Amino acid sequence: MTDAGQLRVGHREREATIVILRSAATEGRLTSEELAERTTSALAARTFDDLDALVADLPVVRPSIELGRASAHDPTLVGLDPDHRRQFSGGMSSHVERGVWWVPPFLGVSAGMGSVKLDFLQAICPHQVVDVAVSGGVGSIVLILPEGWGANTDQVGKGLGSMSNRVDRIARPGHPLLVLHGTSAVGSITVRHASWRDARRLRKAERAAVHGAGSAGPRPSPQDATPQDAPPPKAPPRR
């Protein structure tokens, strides 16, 4: 029987490993240089052993162990083809996706009678183009994109609703392009950059992540104290 580590990998396994590496870098486990090196190695990987070596020092399940356990419910696999899109639905209520999350190449967004807001400001997207099927229903869809990202909404029908695209239709080099298609029905679809509220929320999240990763450290002991740490001298007694 062939060892699992010697089996060949495909684009899906390479991309899933890159997602793991990017998440590790976001958590501070890898430096930007290490992320770049391992991403290049992941793209060139031929076997599961090659991918296992890239995550061996990380607290994650090795790709070879995941072999045979993958399913349509695996978040690293859903959305890799147009027949199995990652779905976001407002239903009768609302759905908000923000923070660090992985963007697959195929998304489906349906507002229903509620609302859906997808915040891509901290999202991890290794794809140049993301295909987004939208249905506004009677609710609202809001997509918040980072600077440099683009969105093409030429294939979105307005119906009785509205379609507002406030970002460039062409992405800057090295940034993803979202291609939307579908209809706003009687609802609304908005694509925009961050508002001042979104920017403030992002800054607070980044500060919280920095403070959570570090600590104030121990107080200096008396023998380690510097002149600035010493108490002021007492004034001589009056005679």
Instruction: Please report whether residue 176 resides in a domain.
Output: yes
Instruction: Please report whether residue 238 resides in a domain.
Output: no
Instruction: Give the range with max mean pLDDT: 5-9, 25-29, 145-149, 223-227.
Output: 145-149
Same domain, yes or no: 102 and 61: no
d(CA 177, CA 27): 26
Q: Is the pLDDT of residue 66 over 70?
A: no
Average pLDDT, integer, range 119-141: 92
Average pLDDT, integer, range 193-213: 80
Instruction: Please report whether residue 31 resides in a domain.
Output: yes
Same domain, yes or no: 131 and 168: yes
Same domain, yes or no: 41 and 91: no
Q: What is the pTM of this model?
A: 0.61
Instruction: Please report whether residue 172 resides in a domain.
Output: yes
Same domain, yes or no: 118 and 45: no
Same domain, yes or no: 11 and 94: no
Same domain, yes or no: 111 and 183: yes
- Name which residue leads in pLDDT, 175 or 61: 175
Q: Which domain holds residue 123?
A: 86-192
Instruction: Please report whether residue 32 resides in a domain.
Output: yes
Query: Lowest-pLDDT range, 27-31, 80-84, 234-238?
Result: 234-238
Instruction: Please report whether residue 171 resides in a domain.
Output: yes
Q: Is the pLDDT of residue 40 over 70?
A: yes
pLDDT tens for 155-172 read: 999 888 999 999 999 999
Number of structural domains the chain divides into: 2
